[in-house]
Structure 1
Amino acid sequence: MRVPVVHRVPVVHQQARRRRARYARLLWNGAEILVTLGVVLMLLVVHQLWWTNRQAREGAERKVQALQREWEGEGDGGGEGDSAGGGSVSDRGSTSPGDGDGDSDGDHAGGGSRSAPDSASATNPGPRPRWTQAYAILTIPRLDLRVPVAEGISKANVLNKGYVGHYPGTAQPGRDGNFALAGHRNTHGEPFRYINRLRRGDRIEVETRTAVYTYVVDRTLSQTSARDGGVIREIPRSTVRPSYGYSDPGYYLTLTTCTPEYTSKYRLVVWGKLGSMRPR
């Protein structure tokens, strides 16, 4: 006689089922949160690296065109960027390099005679520009760069608009001393992103209402402290790396920006000397 086989049916405990369901919901909710955070971060990166650049570049290009039309239409008359006063003191910035990589040529201090082209010394610099107002155009042929220069280094009112900012208290274009500028290296138009590619002998033009000044790149300081105010002094010389800079008066141009890229820990500095001037 056959003995019947009894098949045991596994018993699933309701409590264990509910526990697994809770774990599944937690995992699902956690995955949704992570995906949402990822999308938000991606949008922030796109905004910073693409949208701010697009907006700032378009605005800077419009300002360059507006300055050119203004100068062509008014000749030697006064304009928006050549009037005294205006703006708040808080927009004037500091005397340390602002948004200030390149390979240093290792040159030591020296050079920079105060002699300048005769025509440059005869040029009338005009009234002091108003704070945050664009009053000149910086052109760097090697970098295919053409960007407005505004007074002051305020991030909100100058640098984040894609402009290059003039350090208050430093010389104006074509004048004896140090015409010092700051610009973003990344985001907001990033006009100074590739100034590490500049080499000795490259031309840099600064166009104002009355004249075009041509500076010639002379030296590069690949990295210095963000507080190295010596690089923008009248006779520029690094206080952090004193072997970089000059010891004689002259007609200097200084470009500063952040380094390494996507950080603001250090500053990159490029120096040039005035080579020539031509009236507009």
Structure 2
Amino acid sequence: MAVEVVEAPWGAGVPVERFEEILKADKSHLIKAVLVTHNETATGVRSDIAAVRRALDAAGHSALLLVDGVSSIGCMDFRMDEWAVDVAVTGSQKGFMLPVGLAIVAFSRRAIAAIEQADLPRTFFDVRDMARSYANGAYPYTPAVGLLNGLKVSAEMLMAEGLENVFARHRRIASGVRAAVAAWGLELCAAEPSLYSETVSAIRTPSGFDANTIISHAAQKYDVAFGVSLGEVAGKLFRIGHLGSLTDVMMLSGLAAAEMAMADVGIPIRLGSGVAAAQDHYRAAHADRYKVAA
């Protein structure tokens, strides 16, 4: 199997125009699938899946659209039917607020038809075997009962809150984090606002500062875990996750910890500046929902 990798700068989104060029040039439809990450956690970048679908349609191409939604599904607007996504994968550990352990995969009817036509021998990844087991009230292997019960509860929690409210909460919390980053005088890895993730912010540290020192210091001194940087941005940024079971007030504590850790390692920020900016944002965001008498 040949895989064509389409490169893009770290901090950029999916190069949709390049995708369309490649698909239009593939007159024989040798390309069988287009793989895209909806929300890239290493850089805090969200890509436009609807635009990728339009590129496929503009090229008149039959390739399946496969989407990694691990850090977006359950947190950000994801429209499998509307965007004609054929396979979407997520995990239990992000928007579903559970420990690591479940891979959650959804298939379109077109993807199921492609599976039926495939003749590659397989067992573990044969979803037909799984479907037969499910139809008989069974499981194809030893089930993770605790995680499955937890998934039922987390799905009920999301539906009780209402998906639009879940998405709005993530947007609000993420915007508060971005307000804090701006107050610190720092920048995000994501190249421009349309790419900003609602679930993770990758924050660039000033030149000459190793971002990993912030992460290790925060863990050792304050018992707070921030995300490390990877690949081309290793040592150049740290990541703040803001997804799942999270409130504005919980996020403020994380921002305060980030400020203390940065100040401790010598980054010239004013303690309280980012927290205050986020507080202002959250108070304004709630102003129309809760009126307080003077």
Name the TM-score class by shorter chain: under 0.3
Compare CA radii of gyration and give the structure with the larger one.
1
Higher RCO, 1 vs 2 (CA within 8 Å, ≥6 residues apart): 1
The structure richer in strand per residue is: 1
TM-score where L is the length of structure 2? 0.22
The structure richer in helix per residue is: 2
TM-score where L is the length of structure 1? 0.23
